[in-house]
Amino acid sequence: MADQDVAEQFAQSIPALLAKNVERFGHRPAYREKEFGIWQSWTWAEAADEIRAMAMGFLSLGVERGDHIAIIGRNRPAHYWAMVAAQMCGAVPVPLYQDAVAEEMAYVLEHCGARFVVCGDQEQVDKVVEVEDRIHHIQHVMYTDKRGMRKYDHSRMNALEDIVAEGKAGHFRYQGEIAARIAELTYDSTCVMLYTSGTTGKPKGVVLSNRNIIETAKNSAAFDHLGPDEDVLAYLPMAWVGDFIFSIGQAMVAGFCVNCPESPATMMTDLREIGPTYFFAPPRIFETMLTNVMIRMEDAGDLKHGLFKHFMEFAKGTGEEFGMPRYRVKRSKPTLRRRLRWAYRFSMGIGFSIETMVENAVRLAIVRLRHPMEHRKYFTAKGPILNIYPQPLRDYFNYRTGDVTIYAPLKNTLGLSRIRVAYTAGEAIGPEIFEFYRSLGINLKQLYGQTEASVFITQQPDGQVRADTVGVPSPGVEVRIGENGEVFYRSPGTFVEYYNNPDSTASTKDAEGWVATGDAGFFEEGTGHLRIIDRAKDVGKMADGRLFAPKYVENKLKFYPNILEAVVFGAGRDRCTAFINIDLTAVGNWAERNNIAYASYQELAGHPRVYEMIREHIDEVNRSVAQDPMLSGCQIHRFLVLHKELDADDGEMTRTRKVRRNVIAEKYADLIAALYDGATSISTETEVTYEDGRKGAIKATLRIEDASVAPEGQIHREAAE
């Protein structure tokens, strides 16, 4: 153990870690990429040779210490190698978003002063060529995919593989220089520079040192027990800090294999073929997967449909207990006892599932006889009749049965069979989506992070996972809540600076190293979990000084499929009120099924039964909001359903569909006034802009209804019990 510590002390840069991995795992796969329909793989030793050769090739082009090498392309081993090769030369890799338009790319290239650019394909090269005449410092462009590149002017352009060949040829000339430059790397030299997405203002270049990356990767790998036999699928943009941490930081520290998909379009197939054990995806991806499953289940046979419904319902309560992967205890060889137990459980699972399927098939046949037209409505699947075990064991075997019939095949289809740890982050994930994956036995957790923190600020430990928190501070990270509710952190991963931007650095990071996240949140009493409520600048105070976090409540409302948008008011007032936008697809569908006729969006929105439905949703949200002592003031007292959809053409939303609060407050001032003066209905006239730019007006009389507000103390006690 002590030896290992000493060894690790020397691994103070990514190239050093790479050398160590060659020693430790030389013949294990380090990178895989699917090409020409086959997974090509490189062992650590092979990858290290390639990277070295590439670094020497860079030297032959004249890469100097401190140069910036921009890398633009999809996830491919060659691009990851280019980053490490750049570090070997003492240069700084700068991965860029490949879907950026030429203009955005120009800004970043200009700002970092890159002399060398590695492009993925012709498309990226074109963009660089387009802006080259404005940015004079680009000296050489390299490309990975040779396709369509023959006609270009090759005086300052080369295929990356030719550079590698050049490096191999110049081995003797450059090896001394490379060794010297690697030796110069310290724990505090720059590891990578990543640009923030720049949703507010120009993108900023976040400088992360070796210390930031390696410390963070070490801590987080230990937190989730990541070892050399993990498999990850690298499909997230390379310019994003998460991908750098997962595919380079943690992969180098833990020594696991990085798999690159064949093309973005084959990501799902490749996911299935690789079956990663460690996986990260934004909520959107989990959502899409779930939607696909649901759509395909609707088309499935009745028996499958019934069993799916039954077992998913069953898993909701029990998945957490029976489904989660247990952490492997390192044992050299399974004992006979464990083998027997495993065989017994497996055969029991199969036995019960055959029984369940046969029983249910018979029941379905009988139901079909009685209700030939609507058998799906009357048929509900059941677990096995034969119940020879006491309750806890029965649940266990029921879950095993579900595992054999539904969960395992489903996980296999999704490519999530082998998942040990999966993370989601970036935005709030719907609780029912979260629960769906958890109950299948997929260890999906949430984390909260930032580029400036080298990702990890907080994450959820195993066994303490919930949809509404983002977990406890990651190992080595200190978190405190500022006076206005803003979250501050200090960690070994805290960025060095914004490149060439001392002003922004100073305003973000104070002298003691505390960094403001810009998000408001609070620690939950008892559990110590952090909950993020909103962007700090959007969080306000109500008249009596209680916290007002509109987005927190709006997100809760928007998780209902019937609600498309919600706008909550209450800053500086004594109570909260809300505008609701119904989702025409979902509510329209519902109306059709319930024989509610409507001629227009406006009519449907004003329908008493729609109001009733929305009120139920709001009541539920109020009950859940009341459980938070900090936010109980945000319960919605009165609401109305808007007669038109909030629209970007009318300036009510941004193009990325974020609500513009002040525009709405101004435009609908009469409605807001009515929400607070106790009126039960209000007539209004709203100007709308049609898609062709013409303007028109909608007149409407809107009803205003009261929602029931939950008393906070009582509910809180119930929840605590």
Partner 1 sequence: MKDMIEGYTTADGRQIGGVLMELKNITLRFGGVVAIKDISFDIREGEIRAIIGPNGAGKSSMLNVISGFYVPTEGEVWFRGERRPAMRPYQVARLGIARTFQNIALFDGMSVLDNIMTGRLTLMKSGLLSQALWMGKAAEEEDAHREKVEKIIDFLEIQNIRKTPVGRLPYGLKKRVELARALAAEPKILLLDEPMAGMNVEEKEDMCRFILDVNDEFGTTTVLIEHDMGVVMDLSDRVVVMDYGRKIGDGPPEEVRNNQDVIDAYLGVAHD
Residues in contact with partner 1 by CB under 8 A are 35-38, 147-148, 150-151, 262-263, 265-266, 269
Token duo for residue 699:
């007149």
272 or 305: whose CB is closer to partner 1? Answer: 272
Give the nearest distance from C-beta 260 to partner 1 in angstroms. 13
Give the nearest distance from C-beta 85 to partner 1 in angstroms. 25
CA distance 317 to 672: 42
634 exposure class (CB count in 10 Å sphere: 0-12, 13-18, 19+): buried
232 exposure class (CB count in 10 Å sphere: 0-12, 13-18, 19+): buried
Give the nearest distance from C-beta 263 to partner 1 in angstroms. 5
Give the nearest distance from C-beta 625 to partner 1 in angstroms. 44
136 or 151: whose CB is closer to partner 1? Answer: 151
Token duo for residue 533:
């409520």
C-alpha dihedral sign at 540, 543, 547, 551: negative
CA distance 375 to 370: 8
Q: Which residues make beta-bridge pairs with 682?
A: 702
151 or 695: whose CB is closer to partner 1? Answer: 151
37 or 392: whose CB is closer to partner 1? Answer: 37
Contact 164, 48 (CB under 8 A): no
35 or 313: whose CB is closer to partner 1? Answer: 35
36 or 172: whose CB is closer to partner 1? Answer: 36
Listed residue (359, 416, 399) closest to 382, CA to CA: 359
CA distance 326 to 320: 11
Give the nearest distance from C-beta 261 to partner 1 in angstroms. 9
20 or 34: whose CB is closer to partner 1? Answer: 34
60 or 266: whose CB is closer to partner 1? Answer: 266
Give the nearest distance from C-beta 138 to partner 1 in angstroms. 24
Give the nearest distance from C-beta 465 to partner 1 in angstroms. 33
CA distance 142 to 75: 16
110 or 262: whose CB is closer to partner 1? Answer: 262
Give the nearest distance from C-beta 34 to partner 1 in angstroms. 8
714 exposure class (CB count in 10 Å sphere: 0-12, 13-18, 19+): exposed
64 or 99: whose CB is closer to partner 1? Answer: 99
Q: Which residue has the tokens 């004594």?
A: 574
Give the nearest distance from C-beta 39 to partner 1 in angstroms. 13
Give the nearest distance from C-beta 272 to partner 1 in angstroms. 11
Rounded to 5 degrees, what are φ and ψ at 591? -60, -40
CA distance 94 to 495: 15
Rounded to 5 degrees, what are φ and ψ at 149? -95, 0
Give the nearest distance from C-beta 53 to partner 1 in angstroms. 24
Rg (CA), the chain: 29
Q: Which residue has the tokens 């999966």?
A: 422
User: Which residues, in sequence order, are CB contacts of 665 under 8 Å at separation 6+?
Assistant: 569, 672
152 or 223: whose CB is closer to partner 1? Answer: 152
Token duo for residue 687:
């100007």
Task: State the DSSP code for 686.
Answer: E
| Residue ranges of E strands in 196-310 | 205-209, 231-233, 257-260, 278-280
Q: Which residues make beta-bridge pairs with 535?
A: 519
